[in-house]
């Protein structure tokens, strides 16, 4: 469970940091106010780029903590600049690196309940990782990538995968 969670989240967050850096460089090179990209949405009812980063990092840190039987650390969700978003990603990666395999391995059958606006959801650890945390995490990382790509940042699939 550790190998299937923490290293995967770290790898993808590091990729997310690199595409975020490319977004910042794009804005600077083209003299675009950074807030334009940071607040950009693919559609009016979708979350902006900054919130995509916040939710992706929340999913990663929340998953690791819950699998380890801990309460996830909370961040303020007030990032409004590229440096602040990059710092949040780095802070999340640093937090994830505090977990050890023995804290998470064997959590497949652990009961995990999360509070949602619509009421609590309960999963086994494996269901939580595969059916809730992963899909949510990847959705928000993908959407962040797609927002930047839509705005003209020169990134592609290999940036998302981390193979550049």
Burial tier of 3 (Cβ tally within 10 Å: 0-12, 13-18, 19+) = exposed
CA 124 to chain centre: 22
Cα separation, 47 vs 62, in Å, equals 19
* Residue-level pLDDT at 164: 57
The number of beta carbons lying within 10 Å of the beta carbon of residue 25 is 13
Per-residue pLDDT of the chain (164 residues; tens, 9 = 90+): 999 999 999 999 999 999 999 999 999 999 999 999 999 999 999 999 999 999 999 999 999 999 999 999 999 999 999 999 999 999 999 999 999 999 999 999 999 999 999 999 999 999 999 999 999 999 999 999 999 999 999 999 999 999 75
C-alpha torsion angle, residues 113, 115, 120, 122 (rounded to 10): -20
**Closest by alpha carbon to 66, among 18, 19, 126?**
126
Domains defined along the chain, listed by start: 6-161 (1.20.120.450)
Which pLDDT does position 57 carry in this prediction? 98
3-state DSSP assignment of residue 139: helix
Burial class of residue 54 (count of CB atoms within 10 Å of its CB; 0-12, 13-18, 19+): buried
Report how far residue 152's alpha carbon sits from residue 118's, in angstroms, rounded to the nearest whole number.
37
Q: What pLDDT does residue 65 have?
A: 98
Q: What is the pLDDT of residue 163?
A: 75
pTM summary value: 0.95
């Amino acid at each position: 469970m550790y190998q299937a969670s923490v290293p995967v989240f770290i790898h993808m967050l590091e990729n997310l940091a690199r595409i975020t850096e490319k977004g910042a460089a794009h804005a600077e090179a083209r003299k675009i106010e950074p807030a334009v990209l940071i607040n950009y949405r693919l559609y009016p009812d979708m979350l902006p780029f900054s919130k995509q980063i916040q939710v992706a990092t929340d999913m990663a840190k929340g998953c690791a903590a819950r699998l380890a039987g801990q309460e996830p650390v909370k961040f303020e969700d007030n990032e409004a600049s590229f440096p602040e978003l990059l710092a949040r990603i780095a802070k999340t990666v640093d937090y994830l690196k505090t977990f050890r395999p023995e804290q998470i391995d064997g959590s497949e059958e652990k009961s995990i309940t999360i509070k949602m606006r619509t009421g609590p959801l309960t999963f086994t650890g494996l269901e939580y990782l595969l059916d809730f945390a992963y899909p949510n995490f990847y959705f928000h990382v993908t959407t962040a990538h797609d927002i930047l790509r839509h705005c003209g940042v020169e990134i592609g699939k290999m940036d998302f995968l981390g193979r550049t």
